[in-house]
Structure 1
Amino acid sequence: MQLTRYTDYALRVLTYLAVVPQGDKVNIEQISQRYDLSLHHLKKIVQQLGVFGIVETRRGKGGGISLQKAPNLINLGEVVALLENNLDVIDCHTAPCKILPACRLKGILAIATQAFIQTLNEYTLADLVSDNKSELIQLLVLDDKD
């Protein structure tokens, strides 16, 4: 299974926000520059993360984005389930498969996908940054104010 770029980028945004000192706000341009990702694409992602209540977005002076919840309350499995439109590993219907009535592969892959999500459900955003926060800060050059 491979996550979409959309979900990958969303997890990068959340990782970035998880290492920012609590209470600090950042702007999307900073994240776009640090990861070398499309600003336009990140704006859509951050907007959706805001709709889902994962990040807080504020416009204007003193605005920016920040996590709406503590990193230990943001479950990775839930984030992936919210952002991925389709977790099916294969599509048996677009180009109809001749063996579909007798095939067991789709069921096996569905079980594997459930195991994937269950594993992600065991981790939070805090787990991504707890042991390597200082290294992430260095890599993202967060102490360099733009």
Structure 2
Amino acid sequence: MRVIFTFVLCLAIAFAVPSHPNKIVGGFPTNIESYPSIAALLYTRNGQTYFQACGGTILTTKAILTAAHCPHGDAPFRWRARLGSSRANSGGTVFNFASISIHPSFNPNTMNNDVAIMRTSSNINYNNAIQPASIASPNYHLADNQVVWAAGWGTTYVSIK
């Protein structure tokens, strides 16, 4: 169980990327069909304009996993999920949230237990671009120094001036 939680937590952290255009630093362009379980989490300050602020992982037809520091302290109406699109701010299907459950021991100062579940208001319908994540079994062991993949939205390089 600890391995699953650690793996899922790593996914949540990896998907909690800042809103930069298109790609992950050091990464490469891909498409949603290669990573259909990722969710662009959109945030609003004014209730009208939403922008990509975090990422998440589809767990079920109503649950998306993310890092707790993303929605911490926010009402569900401040967030939406864009699923099934390679672009963070267009395409796919947008879902509203009914509730946000932050880990009860989340500490925003230390970022311990930085995990949350966001529940959509309506069911997520699966297709080739929207799928739940494949979660490792309790007996799965990831050996040290193994290559892992992360997907999300960001920039492929940092320009130092």
Relative to the length of structure 2, the TM-score reads 0.25
Whichever structure has more helix as a proportion of its residues is 1
Whichever structure has more strand as a proportion of its residues is 2
* Max Rg structure: 1
Higher relative contact order (CA 8 A, sep 6+): 2
